[in-house]
Each structure stands twice: as structure tokens, then as C-alpha cells.
């Protein structure tokens, strides 16, 4: 499933990123990388962004971008 469907508080592993070269690099250099565990801290209403946590660092990411991140719930 994609990251936007993960429930707040649940932890999942990132298994794939979809999109162009630059997009993927942009995610990876901010720590959102295949093999890492990711947790949803907060979800803003009406299609707003998600606050996620990877390795203790929190990042805010738009819902559209989150749909291109594939995860497996742990």
C-alpha cells in the first residue's frame, strides 16, 4: 500500500519509491529511503500533509508525494 493509507501511530517499512530521478533523490536525501521504518505522527485534514518520522527525525510531506511512497505495515 502507499504511505497515505497508513494509519497514524502505525509503523511500516518503506519498500519502494515511484517517480522521476530527481523526486526519488529528493526523498532519499531527506531520509525517506527504501528499507527504513516510517511512522505517521499526524495527518492534516482535507487532503493536507502528513508528518512522518524516520529514524527519530520528523518530516512533513504532501499527500500527493506520500502516494508515491510504498510501504508494508509491520
**What does the binding site for other proteins look like in residue numbers (CB under 8 A)?**
8, 21-22, 25-26, 28-31, 33, 41-49, 51, 55-65
CA dist., res. 32 & res. 20, Å (int)? 15
Minimum distance from CB of 20 to other proteins (Å)? 12
Least separation, in Å, of the C-beta of 69 and other proteins? 11
Nearest Cα to Cα of residue 66 among 7, 18, 4: 4
- The SS3 of residue 33 is coil
**Least distance CB 32 / other proteins (angstroms):** 9
Amino acid at each position: 500500500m502507499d504511505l497515505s493509507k497508513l494509519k497514524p501511530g502505525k509503523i511500516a517499512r518503506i519498500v519502494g519509491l515511484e517517480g522521476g530521478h530527481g523526486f526519488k533523490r529528493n526523498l532519499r536525501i531527506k531520509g525517506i529511503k527504501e528499507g527504513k521504518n516510517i511512522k505517521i505522527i499526524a495527518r492534516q485534514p482535507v487532503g493536507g500533509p502528513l508528518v512522518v518520522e524516520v529514524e527519530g527525525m520528523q518530516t512533513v510531506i504532501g499527500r500527493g508525494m506520500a502516494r508515491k511512497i510504498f510501504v508494508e505495515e509491520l
